[in-house]
Amino acid sequence: MATDIVLLEILGVILIFNIIIADDPCKYETPNKGLIDLSSIGKMDGTPVWKDIPPDKTENYVYSYNPCYPFSEKLCTNVAGCQIGKDGRVSYSIGTQASIIWKNTLDDMPSLVYTSADRTKQLFVDMLCIQSDEHKLEVHGETKTNEYHMTLSTKCACWNDSPKPTKPNSLTTGAILIIIFVAVVFLYLITFISYNHFRLQRSGIDLIPHRKFWIVLPGYVKDGIIFVYHRVICSSRGAYQSV
């Protein structure tokens, strides 16, 4: 008898540690297994990823579900799951995102448990790890009174295999140099145009800083290119003749 009591206490402790109320309805993390992240699946625009899905058994209802983020449909407002009559006349919340509980099952695949706001209905979503880019949802419907079951098969259910959020690419050295160059040119123009206008009382084309230099600069560039070109041509010809 005492042994049975001890075993029950141990099982109770294990059950407590295997049921975790998540701070984030998208993520589940354990020290030994790692992380499961569903945030890349759920839609954030207030609509469900899976809408009006019929169950795999005959029912007069269809179901909508969205991981991570709340959605609204018919009379279901800010929910995780919704049960809708096939005629569209009735709809019921079967769970909210705020109520989510992550439950670690014996096969180390967590299940998601949602409860409706009035605490009369519960939605159980079993996770299944598959090596595919496609996310699949099987709706099993109302298995017991006010108890609903689904199975979500996705690569994101695999431990530490969820797609990581993409980080914006850092600026390259070339991009940084271009930004610095543009900033320096802008500062140069603003500074000298202001100086020419307010201090030297110039106007019109005379506002351009070092105008004479910029006018003759293209000629200098042209002369430099011609000079280098002739030096290269002459050097190559001289080397050829010496051979």
pLDDT, position 238: 56
Q: Which residues contact 143 (CB under 8 A, 6 or more apart)?
A: 149
Amino acid occupying residue 30:
T
Separation CA 111–CA 125 (nearest Å): 6
Cα 10 from Cα 105, distance rounded (Å)? 16
pLDDT at 53: 94
pLDDT (tens place) for every residue of the chain, 243 residues total:
444 444 444 444 444 434 444 457 888 887 777 888 888 999 999 999 999 999 998 899 999 999 999 999 999 999 999 999 999 999 999 999 999 988 876 667 788 999 999 999 999 999 899 888 899 999 999 999 999 999 999 998 888 754 444 445 566 787 888 889 889 888 888 898 888 888 888 888 888 888 788 888 888 888 888 888 777 776 655 554 544
Q: Which CATH class is domain 21-157?
A: mainly beta
Question: DSSP alpha helices (H): ranges in 44-172?
Answer: none
Alpha-carbon span 206 to 217, nearest angstrom:
17
Sign of CA dihedral 201, 203, 209, 215: negative
Distance between CA atoms of residues 135 and 130, nearest Å: 9
pLDDT score, position 165 = 46
Per-residue pLDDT, 121: 95
